[in-house]
Amino acid sequence: MLDSLKIEELIKSSSEVFITAHKNIDFDALGSILGMYYVANKIGKNVHVVIDDEDYSKEMKRAISSIKELDIIPKRYTDIKDRIDNKSLLIVTDVNVSKRLQNIKLLDIKNRVVIDHHIETKDCIDTIYKYIDIMSSSACELVLKLINNLNIYIPSEVATIMLSGIYVDTNGFSLKTTKDTHESASLLYQFGADTNESQYLLKQNFNEYKRIQKLVLNTEFYDNIAITTGDGKYLSTDLAKSSDTLLRFNSIEASFTIAKLDDNIVGISARSLGNIDVASIMNKFNGGGHKTDAAAQIKDCRVSDIKDKILEYLGGLK
């Protein structure tokens, strides 16, 4: 449950607020950071947006230059580290594991709030308050609930970035989209979100597209199950996008994408329309999630062995 007053109180009692998200920032991460910026700003706190990525896509540069016009200048950890004291508050959005943070040193800040829609794993950041809802479409949707509850105003440039974040995370309002998602979008339009500008922000990277297509083209079908395996290394977001894509084909009820994430780590991303519980299968690999959306990472194993095990577990479900 979202406790808006608790978040408000934590911001009020802090010295300054630092907001960050995951490495390789995307629009959901940036949008949710900016939403939280306006929440803390309205409460009257000094707020710092902390981003340590080395480089950005053209689209991300475009978004960041639009917020610079609002006088929001993202800072690096080295710029803010001397400001940290024992009353500093760290707000983390769109991620809950420390190793994926923009800069792990931000955990020098001991008072932390996490707002996220990803599966909570064992190495979740320690917090004084966390709002994690894996059924929610995006971190932006969660932050918009807070914005709505606390009656916060956001400028149109930020509304456009948040709309783009929801668009990306729902694959164009098709996945994990609920009444709440549309209500969030509706609120963004009231703040002046611009769909034309959003189209510029949402332009895809062609190399990423090729990587995901390569995965998708390597799919094998077993009745209503699609299983894809990748050669070489992929990003975990590639696996997720591949499984999302596969779910859209005729008669497919569940999809699995398996590929190496690192030399000794194999990742699985699993999706289902709800009739097959993919979380129960990911649990067998010590992963987790929800019955429609789950994942796992396994050390020191082969992609082909993982595929065989999935088929075996699926056989057991019947």
Closest CA to 21 of 87, 72, 91: 91
Strand 293-299 and strand 265-272: pairing?
antiparallel
169 near Mn ion (CB under 5 A): yes
CB of 166 to Mn ion, least distance (A): 9
Decide: is 94 part of the binding site for Mn ion (CB under 5 A): yes
Q: How far is the CB of 138 from Mn ion (least distance, A)?
A: 5
Pairing assessment for the beta strands 254-262 and 288-290 based on DSSP bridges: unpaired
Query: Which residue, 139 or 306, has its beta carbon nearer to Mn ion?
Result: 139
Q: Which is nearer to Mn ion, 88 or 136 (CB)?
A: 136
Q: Provide, rounded to whole angstroms, the least separation between the CB of residue 28 and Mn ion.
A: 3
The answer to whether 294 and 279 have CB atoms below 8 angstroms apart is: yes
CB atoms under 10 Å from CB of 317, counted, come to 10
**Which of the residues 190 through 219 are near Mn ion (CB under 5 A)?**
none
C-alpha pair distances (Å), 232 with each of 29, 260, 266, 307, 308: 27, 6, 10, 16, 19
- CB nearer to Mn ion: pick between 8 and 133: 133
What DSSP letter does each residue of 215-242 carry, written as one string?
HHHTEEEETTEEEEEEEEE--HHHHHHH
Stretch that binds Mn ion, among 25-33, 100-108, 188-196, 259-267 (CB under 5 A): 25-33
**Closest CB to Mn ion among residues 21, 43:** 21
Shortest Å distance, C-beta 289 to Mn ion: 14
Q: How many CB atoms lie within 10 A of CB 15?
A: 14
Q: Is 116 in the site for Mn ion (CB under 5 A)?
A: no
Q: Are 91 and 125 in contact (CB under 8 A)?
A: no
SS3 269: strand
Region of 81-89, 161-169, 188-196, 280-288 interacting with Mn ion (CB under 5 A):
161-169
Interface pick for Mn ion out of 28, 141, 157, 293 (rule CB under 5 A) = 28
Residue with CB nearest Mn ion? Answer: 28
CB closer to Mn ion, 138 vs 219:
138
CB 117 within 8 A of CB 136: yes
Window of 10-18, 133-141, 199-207, 233-241 that interacts with Mn ion by CB under 5 A: 133-141
Query: What residues line the site for Mn ion (CB under 5 A)?
Result: 28, 94, 138-139, 169
